[in-house]
A = this chain, B = another copy of it.
Amino acid sequence: MEKQNKLAIIPLGGLGEIGKNMTVIRYGDDIVVLDCGLAFPEDEMLGIDLVIPDITYLLENQDKIRAVVITHGHEDHIGSLSYFLKQIDVPVYGTRLAMGIAEVRLKENNVANYTLIPIKPGDELTFGSIQVGFIQGNHSIPDVVGIYFRTPVGTIVHTGDFKIDYTPVDGKVIDLPKFAQLGNEGVLVLMSDSTNAERPGFTKSERTVGAVLDEAFNGAKGRILLATFASNVLRVQQAINSACKNGRKVAIIGRSMINVINIARELEYLLVPEGTIIDIDEIKNYPDNQILILTTGSQGEPMSALTRMALSDHRKVAITPSDTIIISATPIPGNEKSVSKTIDALLRLGAEVIHERSMGIHVSGHASQEELKLMLTLVRPQFLIPVHGEHRMLITHGKLAQDLGIPKENIFIGTNGQVFEFEQGVDGVTGKLAGKVTAGKVFVDGLGVGDVGNIVLRDRQMLSQDGVLIVVVTMDKGSGGIVAGPDLVSRGFVYVRESGSLMGEAKQQVKQALDKCEAGQVTEWAAIKTSIRDALGKFIYEKTRRRPIILPIIMEV
């Protein structure tokens, strides 16, 4: 891939997984990076706050990076910028809204130096040998673009996250003619969103939600609380529209909801009539049927406003039986249970809850099968790289493309770090898998980036299952005799006050192990520790069938 006349596409994230989208486009000495996202931790990543892509490859090739280009302002596409820009100083290009949201994050993370450059759909920029263009798209956030890259080997089209919405709320229909024009000119590679590749049919227009909201608002007798993704600005717009028609004031709860609404209003992506928005503390000044509360928590996140309300633990809002709660979102895979619990808790408080199963209160932001086929038909690429989705979705997307006549060998299903290489040959351009570069997950835990790895996670996993049992002994430096202890301290193992005899017996086991060491003239600390660990571990397992982490600590005086 080092050769000058080769084009390389290297996804560093987002392939065969959800989140942390990042793709490297390289031709010769020019690199453009598409998106710079984060992922949220999976269940087994205990204590981890965020997951970002491993950018070793980019650090090694810093001098070649000309730009980062951003498709839209979702966290899984911009969320790593703070970490990236602290290490690599390059300009970032994206739509005004995406740049607005990114800037808030950069400031929050104390990133001092950054260059964010707003672009508009239709703009074209040149970075060395790579010409980059932006195409209007549709998605669950406004101001979203697909991006194409013209290179000496051929044109790459990346759809970004997209759906086809003929009647978008902001009137900005995805620029299908532009995709068609690129197709007519000839496209080498299409990289296309696979999230909904398993869904037959056509994703509904965002506008259809508006009518459903109107109906729900008309039916509500008390307050309405509506939870959705903060970034779904056009959903928020429709909720505010319904509130206005219904004579309701709008109060906003939840940090991310407040942030995004502020940016969106400032940049005029969200249009709110004067006097509509009130402070949450003012809601008591209005009758219940004149109130809409917009809130975060559509995913049942433990600390979110809606979850706190469901647990009667919110400082400002107490749910009552006359409230109608609308959850205008689908649970992201993995969140089903927490969403379900939130709904149950709200119902127990007597509230009416309108959620996803009740049809039409939410639509997806991703293209279903018929839209994917339409995109393939307009762009007619020589090669397809399905992106953005779990592995099985990429495969399904690939099968759809085969049905449309793209040869199987021209469909590349890859994993992160895979180098897809394209080269001009005698009979046209050939493409192949050409090795891998470093790629993977870097864990962010508090202020630590990458300092929690598999060893720490394995310990957390063990601690979470059966806790920890600490044995402390103070020994004489000269004689090796016990001066104090052994003392046993545990956390997360058993409730000690009710397990006095077990802990007493355990202490005896440690004493016996120490006596044995003394008798056998074992004086090496490591060996003594192993004896304690083995004897105690065996005893505890026999008595309880648990395996706490056993930590022997020897103090020397």
Contacts and interface: CB of A to CB of B under 8 A. Distances in A.
Interface of A: 16, 42-43, 46-47, 198, 333-334, 336-337, 340, 343-344, 347-348, 353, 357, 390-392, 395, 415, 445-448, 451-453, 455-457, 459-468, 470, 472, 474, 483-485, 487, 489, 491-495, 498-499, 543-546, 549, 551, 553, 555-557
Contacts of A551: 470, 489, 491
A353 B495 contact: no
A344 B468 contact: no
SS of A interface (majority) = mixed
B446 A468 contact: no
Contact of A447 (B343, B395, B544): B544
Contact of A47 (B465, B470, B555): B465
Nearest to A461: B464
Nearest to A498: B451
A460 B464 contact: yes
A536 to B, nearest CB: 15
A46 B464 contact: yes
Contacts of A459: 467, 491-492
A198 B357 contact: yes
A344 B390 contact: yes
Nearest to A448: B544
Q: 5 nearest interchain CB pairs?
A: A446-B545, A464-B464, A463-B463, A459-B492, A47-B465
B447 A543 contact: yes
Contact of A557 (B47, B489, B543, B557): B557
A161 B271 CA distance: 51
A109 B466 CA distance: 21
A460 B452 contact: no
A456 B495 contact: yes
19 contacts: A43-B43, A46-B464, A340-B392, A343-B392, A347-B391, A445-B466, A451-B495, A453-B495, A456-B467, A460-B463, A463-B468, A468-B468, A472-B553, A472-B555, A474-B555, A484-B556, A487-B553, A489-B551, A491-B551
A195 to B, nearest CB: 13
A415 to B, nearest CB: 8
Contacts of A357: 198
A457 B491 CA distance: 10
Contact of A492 (B415, B448, B456, B546): B456
Given A333-B336, A460-B464, 20 more contacts: A46-B464, A46-B492, A47-B492, A343-B392, A344-B392, A353-B392, A445-B544, A447-B544, A447-B545, A448-B544, A451-B499, A456-B493, A460-B463, A461-B464, A468-B468, A470-B551, A474-B474, A474-B484, A484-B555, A489-B553
B460 A43 contact: no
A55 B384 CA distance: 60
A391 B47 contact: no
B455 A495 contact: yes
Nearest to A497: B455
A40 to B, nearest CB: 12
A188 B448 CA distance: 63
Nearest to A551: B489
Contacts of A460: 463-465, 467, 492
Contact of A546 (B46, B448, B455, B474): B448
A476 to B, nearest CB: 9
Contacts of A491: 459, 463, 468, 549, 551
A472 B555 CA distance: 8
A406 to B, nearest CB: 19
Contacts of A334: 336-337
Nearest to A344: B391
Contacts of A487: 553, 555
A340 B333 CA distance: 9
A516 B445 CA distance: 32
A474 B557 contact: yes
A524 to B, nearest CB: 18
B492 A463 contact: yes
A553 B464 contact: no
B198 A448 contact: no
A548 to B, nearest CB: 9
A331 to B, nearest CB: 9
Nearest to A459: B492
Contacts of A43: 43, 337
A336 B334 CA distance: 6
A498 B452 CA distance: 10
Contacts of A463: 460, 463-464, 467-468, 491-492
Scoring A344, A461, A462, A555 by chain B CB atoms within 10 A of each residue's CB, the highest score goes to: A555
Nearest to A494: B451
B474 A347 contact: no
A544 to B, nearest CB: 5
A499 B483 CA distance: 31
A344 B472 CA distance: 46
